Structure 1
Amino acid sequence: MPRGSFSVGRPQKILVAGGAGFVGGHLCNRLFADGHHVICLDNLLTGRLSNIQHLLDHPRFRFVLHDIIAPLPYLGRIEQIYNLACAASPKKYQADPVHTFKTNVWGAVNLLELAADHDARILQSSTSEVYGDPCVSPQSESYHGNVNTVGPRSCYDEGKRAAETLFHDFHETRGVRTRIARIFNTYGPGMCPTDGRVISNFVIQALSDANITVYGDGTQTRSFCYISDLLDGLIALMAAPDSLSDPVNLGNPVEFTMNELAQMVRETVGSRSAIMHLDLPVDDPKQRKPDISAALAHLGWAPKVSVAEGLAQTIPYFAQLHQTLMVAE
């Protein structure tokens, strides 16, 4: 998997909750390659063992099948905790909204208690969804958002907002060494082909010469961050001074409309797909663009991989999956 320039000094014992997911699997691989002892905790509701398969028999890696809404098993001494445990695609987190909310809230409490017990650094993978359908652009960390509390996306959006509150309160009242990363759309090899995210949808449809489905008129925008850039940001944030407890945006500030992205994917694949417009889902954000000045100032971090470069590295992964499925049929 891609490697960046950020790393954390001496080998440490690190827990990655949700470590068999797309981002979690890449993070486990990156931390392991950097020499750390890694514990991957995952309930496999959306995570896949294939993301960490080659690590399972190594003495510096341990997989624990567990749902973080339940009391945590004994894991030994822990020095760092990354909380990536929650489905991130609307298709999957809306399948069981109550469990999604519990994962964000009860899971955060369980991991924060563990961090308090071990004096461990703990990083919350929050999301740009805390900004809802934003009324300002770009979105800075000081923007409080425009979120519907009773919509189909609320279980995820409000769950992540509640988790941020818990991280803030554990830091303020108990001195827990917290970090909060507000992650914007991330993509790359290893994405689940059925998770319903826009890049995986577009690429799979283009490879099949099927219609590329764009919701609404396609003028809504997103900013896409390649996985290696995100990993650099997460690791840099974990390594930052404990005083940096406020949320930090991690994303690529280069903005694309859905129409532009669909056309870019079609041209990169060399597809004959037509672009078809469908109704816009309820509460779907019209604009999403991060202000990353805090990440640049405090972490020295900014993304390096353009969307064109990232797609060129991601499409072959999906093409291989597509070819395997065709052969199987």
Structure 2
Amino acid sequence: MAAEPEGGVLVEKGPPKEPRKKTKYDVIIIGAGPAGYTAGIYCSRARRDTLILSGILPGGQLVNTTDVENFPGFENGIMGPDLMINFRKQAERMGTTIVDDEVVNVDFRHRPFKVLTSEEEYEAKAVIVGTGATPRKLGVEGEKAFAGKGVSYCATCDGPFFKNMELVVVGGGDSAMEEATFLTKFATTVHVVHRRKELRASKIMQERAHDDEKIRFHLGYEVKEIRGNGKVQQVVLASPDGEEQMDTGGVFVAIGHDPNTELFKGQLETDDQGYIVLKGASQTSVPGVFAAGDVHDRRYRQAITAAGFGCMAGIDVNNYLDE
């Protein structure tokens, strides 16, 4: 390492030191879907030093969605990935730091809270969990290839795109009955496919579905394959009696969601299905740790409601830090 004169003093010259990465924040938000980004906007506008750890797939479920017509403010709709890019840019403009890294562990037992990623350990005075939920998949051939091209996991989101078509709903619980009933507003016929001979839905939901002349039931059948040419055109159904093909314009999978809460087991209270239990609007069982979006919402599961929950969590965090 050479010594060079600088202002009359010999100074050792070496490779420039990298600036130390900032690891301590007022608020850390885990997850970068509508809930996480909205929470970031509100926290940053309140002048809280805010970090979003987005995970390896920023944007949540909307990055796999094509047209979004039910998010206010977009007269002609917007592509799901574009909507999430807008969310991200707005959060960044407000001053939110966003790091595309996956959280691998947390420690909510002591303050400051610790959040560990594959690259770094961060600390925060408050944390917002916005890790969302993942729709359960059928795991059959063609499902992944036609996701967003006729395969959907949300009738409320995508139903209006399937007007005057024969549709398939897979599932036998309350969610499947709700999806099927909703889709009758657009479809010519809705075929409910359930692998068991009996539905699991509540009696009242079954009665409503059975009373709808547009809904037909295929009990004891499983979807074996989804086929098409650029978009869904057909499903292959399997039963103990063999296989049969059915033409359809869309397949709606309604076999449940799994909240992404594995990371928080033993630290945050969850219900029997793994959803985070809230104390009030957004407070979890640990004071200073809040939750927003599908990670606790098993009912609505919409981008607009997730954003609303993110807003509430952001406001609640700001009040918590003030106190």
**TM-score bracket, shorter-length normalisation:** 0.3 to 0.5
Structure with the bigger percentage of helix: 1
Report the TM-score, using the length of structure 1 for normalisation.
0.34
Structure with the bigger percentage of strand: 2
Report the TM-score, using the length of structure 2 for normalisation.
0.34
